[in-house]
Amino acid sequence: MGIGAHLARYAADQGWSVAISARSEDTLKEMADQSNGRMHAYPLDVLDLEATKTVVDAIERDLGPITIAVLNAGTHADMPASAFDATEVAKIYALNMTGMANGLDPLLKKFLPRGAGQIALTASVAGFRGLPRAGAYCASKAGTIAMAESLECEIGPKGVKIQVICPGFVRTPLTDKNDFPMPYLMEPEDAAKRIWNGLMSDRFEISFPRRFVWQLKFLQLLPARWYFALIRKATGQ
């Protein structure tokens, strides 16, 4: 089970009414059935813009105005330069960026006229700088961070709160496929709690674990030559 599912359960445990969306209708139904009426299933493929608009309308019709929206759909594929695949890059961009934009479209159209609402975009610490074998993933997450920053410049003063979530390595079915060491690997329950606390705060960036984040932010400050030398040594490139 991924971060989104754990976050939905945590929010429901806090007493919130939670609308959950994913492509797997059976999984959504199972989660909703186990939530004592706190979670409500809305099957959705976020690559379908019109379907996304329809689901946002349905949620507000059934449950009332959306207070917090977490746009969390994403994927990753190991892609060394020797196996660079433009088709695979397009798939990663489609889900990680276009899927997010498809959610932003109807949400902003509802939130901005109200002057209220909160949107969190899930990026990653991998968006801080480029990492080996993850060019498409890092680019998509850097793009997500830039999107959130760009929107905040405009919509923050208009009463709509936007945040960006940048987790480190979290144990999920996606990271279970990784064949390399994952420093500071966290359990998804802990990640969900940290995200929730961040959503309840005034922070723009919800990033963790703190030690890993600060190490990567330090790398952002290094000249390119130093950064490449360190990363090559650390990853055996």
| Per-residue pLDDT reduced to its tens digit, 46-67 | 999 999 999 999 999 999 999 9
Instruction: Provide the domain count of the chain.
Output: 1
Spot the catalytic one: 42, 137, 184, 227.
137
* Cα 103 to Cα 74: distance, rounded to the nearest angstrom: 13
203 to 10, 160, 164, 192, 197: CA distances (angstroms): 19, 14, 9, 16, 10
pLDDT number for residue 184: 75
CA 232 to chain centre: 27
pLDDT in tens, 192-204: 999 999 999 999 9
The model's pLDDT over 80-95, given as tens digits with 9 standing for 90+, comes to 999 999 999 999 999 9
What does the pLDDT look like over 94-146, one tens digit per residue?
A: 999 999 999 999 999 999 999 999 999 999 999 999 999 999 999 999 999 99
CA angle 49, 204, 227 (to 5 degrees): 95
Average pLDDT score, the chain = 93
Catalytic-residue membership of 137 = yes
CATH of residue 161: 3.40.50.720
Range of the domain at 22: 3-235
Report residue 99: phi and psi, to 5°.
-60, -40
